[in-house]
Homo-oligomer: A and B are copies of this chain.
Amino acid sequence: MAKQKKQPRPKAETPKGFRDYFGAEVTERNRMLAQIAEVYDRYGFDPLETSAVETVEALGKFLPDVDRPNDGVFAFQEDGGAEDGTWLALRYDMTAPLARVAAQFRNDLPNPYRRYTMGPVWRNEKPGPGRFRQFYQCDADTVGAASVAADAEICAMLADTLEAVGIERGDYIVRVNNRKVLEGILQNVFGTVDAVSTLISTDQDQSEVRANVLRTVDKYDKIGAEGVRQLLTTGRTDQSGAEIEGVGLSARQAEQIVLFLDARRRSNEETLSTLQETVGGSVVGNQGVQELRQIADLLAAQGYGPDRIVIDPSVVRGLGYYTGPVYEAELTFEITDEKGRPRQFGSVAGGGRYDDLVKRFTGQEVPATGVSIGVDRLLAALRAKGRLSGTTEGPVVVTVMDRDRMADYQAMASELRAAGVRAEVYLGNPKNFGNQLKYADKRQSPVAVIQGSDEAAAGKVQLKDLILGAKLAQDATLEEWKSQPAQTEVDRADLVAGVKALLDRHR
């Protein structure tokens, strides 16, 4: 009997940090993706869909928190761990795959290459409330455009897109900054003049310090000027009481950086003047300010004023690969968080210029810029504002009174479908009729169709208005509704017309 060993039952569980999406959650997301795609398409971007899997080599390591185990990606070896198996990983964003595509197909693609893409990305990070390991991104990028007109266009399109999905003007702001300005500040801080990008710095130690500075200033929105000051110097104790090590800059160095982050003034013009002073004589810093000025001018000329798009030096973006303008869209309205406290909704999209990502592959300069919209966060925002119903209309349910006449019931459902009405026959065990009506309720079915043997003999069907029924059950004094019968009998031949009349009651 040794062969009859029983296996323990597997656990029916979504893996930690993943979730399932049901019904309206799926259709609402699909609708939003279609709305975004429509704007991207109208701007001339072409669709691209890369696979979820890339080689680890092609993906590179550009996630914000590079000190995490396994670098934040889900990686695996091609042939189940064979020694020469290629290391593969799930994409952690849409930009790294684009850089690979732009390099791989550089002789075939139009130049510039403008593409949009949408789909899930995966992060092997610690999950938290509302923070999942798989989430949707919806990106648009222009590869091969050195002009900041490309950055300005993306910012304008981002504003248009937010309005297209239902975020009203005034409820969002697109904030723009430039990594070159930060680089100028850092040159002043460190007293050196080297490469623009922190990525291609050849001095490993300084590159690490710069990465730490970047990570720290990216927290400005959360921990404020004083928090950044502490982290840039000797460290700080966070809310949970944990000691966080400082970057080790001097107080004077830290102050220069905080001055930069704090440089947003009441108008773009004032902000740009302040930045101009802050970068001093740094060539790259001045170039950065000049680019920001061009972007602000281009946008103003097209009517995108500071009510929609604003220069804001506190925007840094965590990713290591940005080399020029960076931008972020923030929703400015308050929502109630899981602990009942009001808070700003925060960032829903971000992007920037990454002139060195394609160069990784080809060795040739390929300027590029693009944006990524966090679709799941945007959906959460619209839900918090009550802009999404969260429900779908259930099907008309044809109940089964006599299981030998299944073909008749199926014919009724077919007729309804042919007339464009969502319909189905109850396919559970028909023995208990109450269960059939409970099922129809759970499906939010508007109408139940009932035909027992008596009705069948008389050529009739009963139609039960379940929406009205539910309203009457809720409020027995509702005279207006009471005058309409919740259940009616119609000729079998009038099934479709009768159902449509009931559906029209509630539209």
By a beta-carbon cutoff of 8 Å, the part of chain A in contact with chain B is 3-4, 9-16, 18-23, 25-27, 29, 41-44, 46-55, 57-58, 60, 69-70, 74-76, 78-80, 82, 86, 88, 90, 100-101, 103-105, 110-112, 114, 120, 122, 124, 133-134, 142, 144-147, 149-150, 152-153, 156, 202-204, 297-298, 301-302, 360-363, 392, 395, 397, 403, 406-407, 410-411, 414, 417, 420-425, 427-429, 439, 442-443
Contacts and interface: CB of A to CB of B under 8 A. Distances in A.
B78 A76 contact: no
Nearest to A51: B18
B153 A15 contact: no
A105 B22 CA distance: 11
B153 A52 contact: no
This chain: copies in complex = 2
B69 A79 contact: yes
Contacts of A422: 41-44
17 contacts: A3-B203, A10-B60, A11-B361, A15-B55, A15-B86, A16-B78, A16-B86, A20-B49, A23-B48, A29-B49, A44-B423, A52-B52, A74-B76, A149-B410, A298-B406, A298-B410, A302-B414
A301 B408 CA distance: 8
B80 A153 contact: no
Contacts of A134: 51-53
Contacts of A88: 15, 74
A423 B51 contact: no
A70 B81 CA distance: 9
A407 B120 CA distance: 35
Contacts of A203: 3
A100 B15 CA distance: 11
A70 B54 CA distance: 19
Contact of A51 (B19, B46, B49, B360): B19
Nearest to A146: B429
Contacts of A57: 10-11
A46 B23 contact: yes
Contact of A153 (B19, B42, B427): B427
B414 A13 contact: no
Contact of A53 (B18, B204, B297): B18
A12 B427 contact: no
A47 B27 contact: yes
A427 B301 contact: no
B55 A13 contact: yes
Contact of A427 (B76, B145, B395): B145
A134 B302 CA distance: 43
B104 A13 contact: yes
A43 B427 contact: no
A49 B21 contact: yes
Given A11-B57, A57-B10, A110-B442, A428 B145 contact: yes
A419 to B, nearest CB: 10
A124 B80 contact: yes
